[in-house]
């Protein structure tokens, strides 16, 4: 797998995360596009933050966490025991929900990461402070009080300082965990402006529960629901023209309902002629509005979805069971499936 050639910094393959016995993420596979803003959306507690923090292995710090699957960053599997975790984290800046400035001066906050990674030259540190505070758009606000405490800054300034601090270690990726949720509207706007200005240089991944923010910023959208990857794709497609019912319900602010499965077909054990017969039979029996679950091998999945048999059905959801099997949940059209 590691030899697979790819342009993308971050590729996730069959990532599952559990906290103790609770499954938080189920078989997520996704490529995060480079130098774009990717927004991870979904209701609270659906695994957005866990997915984000799996990119820099901050989830390692959680109680009883176990991870399976792979996350490749620049073709290196970061869950490989040989991975140097401090180097990985250096490549990703993190903005948390509430800005977390370090208990030191503004200057020391910006150079903290550099010092940790061994930079000692005074000139380089000074230059970095000016450069990254400018990138975070706060140099003019603080240039005369660099040696005062960072804790005294306003919360919006603190978040921009955290951005400068993250940029200073030279990351390729910026991770934002609802970075504007604790901020006032003006500070939030400033942070959003920074993201738009920085996206040519960095790959930005944001967790957000604000749909309007996703619309304003995102080039690419990932929709998670209860630990499952429901839909992902270019922002305008997912946000304006979602393919699956759950995405649609979430975007429209409706309650997301689990469809009631009325029929089920397991194609795994069947071979070609029988499987086709079984499919035809089950589609015939299915009444308008009824929901069918088909369990299928990963290889045959695309063929199945595109087959003419499925044409009069709406695919509600495609769920990955494990690396090799998926579930397709579909509903017979006419009269339409509406929640």
Partner 1 sequence: MDKRKVEEYIFKVLMLGAVLIVIGSLVFILATILVKGLPTLSWEMITKTPQGGYYMGKGGGILNALLGSLLLGIGATILAAAVALPIVFYLNLYLRRRSRFALAVRFFLDVLWGIPSVVYGAFGFTLMIFFGLQASLLAGMITVALLVLPIMARGMDEVLKMVTFELQEASLALGATRLETAGKVIFRQAFPGILTAVLMAFGRGMSDAAAVLFTAGFTDSLPYSLFKPVATLPLAVFFQLGTPFPEVQSRGYAAALILTAIVFSLSILARLITRGMNKHVIK
Q: Which residues bind partner 1 (CB under 8 A)?
A: 56, 58, 61, 63-64, 86-90, 92-94, 96, 98, 100-105, 112-113, 116-117, 149-151, 162, 165-166, 169
Q: Are strands 291-297 and 325-332 parallel, antiparallel or unpaired?
A: antiparallel
Contact (Cβ atoms closer than 8 angstroms) between residue 178 and residue 54: no
Three-class secondary structure of residue 202 per DSSP: coil
Residue 168 or 328: the one with the smaller Cβ distance to partner 1 is: 168
Q: How far is the CB of 162 from partner 1 (least distance, A)?
A: 7
Q: How far is the CB of 14 from partner 1 (least distance, A)?
A: 25
What are 119's two structure tokens? 């930079």
Q: How far is the CB of 146 from partner 1 (least distance, A)?
A: 13
Residue 92 or 239: the one with the smaller Cβ distance to partner 1 is: 92
Q: How far is the CB of 81 from partner 1 (least distance, A)?
A: 17
Residue 94 or 138: the one with the smaller Cβ distance to partner 1 is: 94
Q: How far is the CB of 163 from partner 1 (least distance, A)?
A: 12
Three-class secondary structure of residue 198 per DSSP: helix
Residue 89 or 313: the one with the smaller Cβ distance to partner 1 is: 89
Which H or E element spans position 281? helix 272-285
d(Cα 8, Cα 123) in Å, to the nearest integer? 34
Residue 94 or 222: the one with the smaller Cβ distance to partner 1 is: 94
How are the residues of the chain apportioned to helix, strand and coil, as percentages rounded to the nearest 5? Answer: 35, 25, 35
d(Cα 80, Cα 25) in Å, to the nearest integer? 19
Residue 92 or 136: the one with the smaller Cβ distance to partner 1 is: 92
Q: How far is the CB of 6 from partner 1 (least distance, A)?
A: 24
d(Cα 319, Cα 293) in Å, to the nearest integer? 10
d(Cα 293, Cα 262) in Å, to the nearest integer? 8
d(Cα 161, Cα 34) in Å, to the nearest integer? 24
Residue 58 or 301: the one with the smaller Cβ distance to partner 1 is: 58
Residue 169 or 267: the one with the smaller Cβ distance to partner 1 is: 169
What are 30's two structure tokens? 């996704």
Q: How far is the CB of 151 from partner 1 (least distance, A)?
A: 5
Q: How far is the CB of 93 from partner 1 (least distance, A)?
A: 8
DSSP string, 48-111: HHHHHHHTTTGGGGSTTEEEEEEEEETTEETTSTTS-HHHHHHTEEEE-SS----SSBHHHHHH
Q: How far is the CB of 22 from partner 1 (least distance, A)?
A: 15
Residue 115 or 277: the one with the smaller Cβ distance to partner 1 is: 115
Residues 254-272 as b/e (b if ≥16 CB within 10 A, e otherwise) read eebeebeeeeebebeeeee
Contact (Cβ atoms closer than 8 angstroms) between residue 37 and residue 199: yes
């Amino acid at each position: 797998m590691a030899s697979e050639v790819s342009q993308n910094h971050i590729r996730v393959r069959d990532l599952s995360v559990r906290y103790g016995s609770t499954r938080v993420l189920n078989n997520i596979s996704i490529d995060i596009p480079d130098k774009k803003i990717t927004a991870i959306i979904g209701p609270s507690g659906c695994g957005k933050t866990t997915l984000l923090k799996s990119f820099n292995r901050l989830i390692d710090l959680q109680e009883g966490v176990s991870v399976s699957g792979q996350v490749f960053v620049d073709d290196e599997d970061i869950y490989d025991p040989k991975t140097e975790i401090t180097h990985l984290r250096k490549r990703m800046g993190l903005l948390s929900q509430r800005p977390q400035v370090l208990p030191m001066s503004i200057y020391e906050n910006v150079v903290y990461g550099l010092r940790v990674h061994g930079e000692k030259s005074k000139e380089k540190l000074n230059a970095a402070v000016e450069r990254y505070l400018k990138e975070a758009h706060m140099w003019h606000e603080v240039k005369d009080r660099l040696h005062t405490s960072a804790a005294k800054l306003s919360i919006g300034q603190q978040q921009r300082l955290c951005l400068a601090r993250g940029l200073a270690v030279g990351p390729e990726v910026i991770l934002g965990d609802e970075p504007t949720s604790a901020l006032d509207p003006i500070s939030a706007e400033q942070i959003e402006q920074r993201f738009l200005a920085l996206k040519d240089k960095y790959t930005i991944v944001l967790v957000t529960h604000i749909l309007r923010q996703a619309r304003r910023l995102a080039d690419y959208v990932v929709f998670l629901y209860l630990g499952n990857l429901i839909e992902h794709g270019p922002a305008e497609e997912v946000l304006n023209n979602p393919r699956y019912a759950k995405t649609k319900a979430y975007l429209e602010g409706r309650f997301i309902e689990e469809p009631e499965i009325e029929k089920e077909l397991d194609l795994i054990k069947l071979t070609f002629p029988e499987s086709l017969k079984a499919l035809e039979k089950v589609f015939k029996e299915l009444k308008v509005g009824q929901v069918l679950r088909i369990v299928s091998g990963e290889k045959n999945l695309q063929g199945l979805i595109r087959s003419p048999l499925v044409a009069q059905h709406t695919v509600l959801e495609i769920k990955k069971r494990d690396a090799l099997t998926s579930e397709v949940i579909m509903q017979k059209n006419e009269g339409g499936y509406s929640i």
